[in-house]
């Protein structure tokens, strides 16, 4: 900028005015400066700008479990869209559902002075965020509510959705319904398990611990667990998968299984309706979740200081076949 000023024979401030389209620059001067800028290939340094202005880096952070998972990439896409409309960029990080990794990502984002953070928490305790909140960083939770602190959150009706899924299986006459779930620490898995238990309780069925498989990290784990459940002395006749990866594993097993086994999965799939055995799911809208959370964040950045809000998005049971198999 100094170089531009020297070359155009004006003061630094004048260049700054031109760059920022401020008023009060003579047309001739402006033309000369604009020209010099182009000639020298000058580009404003937004780092320095943010530093000096002391606020708004026009950047928000997004921490999800894994951008490679369509659920999260759907969120990411929507967030990016809203951010772009506001002139913001987004730094995305995947926590791999790991507590420490989550904290590390958040810390880095804060060090870079992002204006706000959209967080899908992996851990159960986000008290580590208290200093950041105090400093004024806006934070909105996605998919799972905050632990140990108050904050805005956009979540799904997990208990209700799971309950409806399992009720649906019960209505088909199933009594032995296996549960496939990932890490027990992730709150959504817990809530969906609650829905599962509530449905069974509603039908007067006691939960058989052997039908509950936890700590499954990926589709392969889920597939192994599904095979297990179908090989029990008193095997499961139906499966409830708490998320898309669990469903994927289950699908892989059921696809090669002779006697039909019922399956309902949480999270929808792109090709769900065109499968050999179209899968019945608890569907919801990841993009709506991302967009809602992002809008909430920008409302906070715009000065909204109302009480913490919790938005609960609905889920719908979409019957496609795999859930309508009798025992």
- Which residues form the interface with DNA (CB under 7 A)? 1-2, 9-14, 16-17, 19-20, 23-26, 28-30, 43-45, 48-49, 51-54
- Among DNA, a second copy, none, what does residue 24 contact (CB within 5–8 Å per kind)? DNA
Burial 305-326 (b: 16+ CB within 10 A, else e): eeeeeebeeebeebebbbbebe
Would you call 84 exposed, middle or buried from its count of C-beta atoms within 10 A (0-12, 13-18, 19+)?
exposed
- Among a second copy, DNA, none, what does residue 16 contact (CB within 5–8 Å per kind)? DNA
Q: Applying CB under 8 A, does 36 fall inside the site for a second copy?
A: no
Stretch that binds a second copy, among 92-100, 171-179, 205-213, 305-313 (CB under 8 A): 92-100
Q: Applying CB under 8 A, does 258 fall inside the site for a second copy?
A: no
Report, in Å, the least distance between residue 34 CB and DNA: 12
Q: CA nearest 106: which of 117, 115, 97? A: 117
Q: Applying CB under 8 A, does 243 fall inside the site for a second copy?
A: no
Give the Cβ contact number of residue 30 at 10 Å: 16
Of the pair 233, 258, the CB lying nearest a second copy is at: 258
Report, in Å, the least distance between residue 248 CB and a second copy: 7
Of the pair 197, 297, the CB lying nearest a second copy is at: 297
- Among DNA, a second copy, none, what does residue 322 contact (CB within 5–8 Å per kind)? none
DSSP state of 318: E
Q: In the set 67, 198, 288, 299, which binds a second copy (CB under 8 A)?
A: 67
Q: In the set 248, 281, 296, 325, which binds a second copy (CB under 8 A)?
A: 248
Q: Applying CB under 8 A, does 227 fall inside the site for a second copy?
A: no
Q: In the set 6, 31, 47, 232, which binds a second copy (CB under 8 A)?
A: 47
Q: Applying CB under 8 A, does 45 fall inside the site for a second copy?
A: yes
Of the pair 38, 310, the CB lying nearest a second copy is at: 38
Would you call 144 exposed, middle or buried from its count of C-beta atoms within 10 A (0-12, 13-18, 19+)?
buried
Q: Applying CB under 8 A, does 302 fall inside the site for a second copy?
A: no
Please name the residues in contact with 199: beta carbons below 8 A apart, sequence gap of 6 or more. Answer: 162, 163, 164, 165, 166, 167, 170
Please name the residues in contact with 97: beta carbons below 8 A apart, sequence gap of 6 or more. Answer: 65, 66, 122, 182, 183, 186
Applying the rule CB under 8 A, the residues between 176 and 205 that interact with a second copy are none
Cα dihedral 120/138/109/76 (nearest 10): 40
Q: CA nearest 40: which of 13, 6, 90? A: 6
Q: Applying CB under 8 A, does 134 fall inside the site for a second copy?
A: yes
Q: Which residues bind a second copy (CB under 8 A)?
A: 41, 43-48, 50-51, 57, 59, 66-68, 70, 73-74, 76-77, 80-81, 84, 89-94, 107-113, 131-132, 134-135, 248, 251-252, 255, 269-271, 274-277, 287
């Amino acid at each position: 900028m100094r170089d531009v000023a020297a070359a155009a024979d004006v003061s630094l401030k004048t260049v700054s005015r031109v760059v920022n389209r401020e008023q009060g620059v003579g047309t001739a001067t402006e033309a000369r400066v604009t020209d010099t800028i182009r000639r020298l290939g000058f580009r404003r340094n937004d780092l320095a700008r943010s530093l000096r202005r002391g606020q708004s880096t026009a950047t928000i952070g997004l921490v999800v479990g894994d951008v490679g998972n369509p659920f999260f990439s759907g969120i990411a896409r929507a967030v990016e869209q809203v951010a772009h409309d506001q002139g913001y960029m987004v730094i995305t990080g995947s926590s791999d559902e790991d507590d420490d990794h989550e904290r590390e990502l958040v810390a880095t984002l804060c060090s870079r002075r992002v204006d706000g953070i959209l967080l899908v928490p992996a851990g159960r305790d986000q008290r580590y965020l208290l200093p950041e909140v105090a400093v004024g960083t806006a934070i909105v939770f996605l998919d799972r509510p905050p632990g140990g602190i108050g904050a805005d959150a956009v979540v799904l009706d997990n208990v209700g959705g799971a309950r409806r899924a399992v009720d649906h299986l019960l209505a088909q006459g199933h009594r032995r319904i296996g549960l496939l779930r990932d890490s027990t620490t992730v709150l959504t898995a817990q809530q969906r398990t609650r829905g599962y238990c509530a449905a069974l309780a509603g039908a007067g069925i006691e939960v058989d611990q052997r039908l509950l498989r936890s700590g499954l990290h990926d589709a392969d784990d889920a597939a192994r667990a599904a095979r297990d459940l179908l090989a029990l002395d008193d095997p499961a006749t139906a499966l409830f998968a708490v998320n898309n990866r669990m469903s994927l594993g289950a699908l892989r097993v059921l696809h090669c299984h002779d006697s039909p086994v019922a399956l309902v999965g949480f999270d929808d799939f792109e090709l769900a309706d065109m499968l050999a055995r179209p899968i019945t799911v608890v569907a919801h809208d990841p993009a709506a979740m991302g967009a809602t959370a992002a809008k909430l964040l920008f409302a906070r950045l715009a000065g909204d200081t109302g009480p913490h809000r919790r938005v609960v998005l609905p889920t719908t049971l979409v019957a496609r076949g795999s859930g309508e198999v009798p025992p």
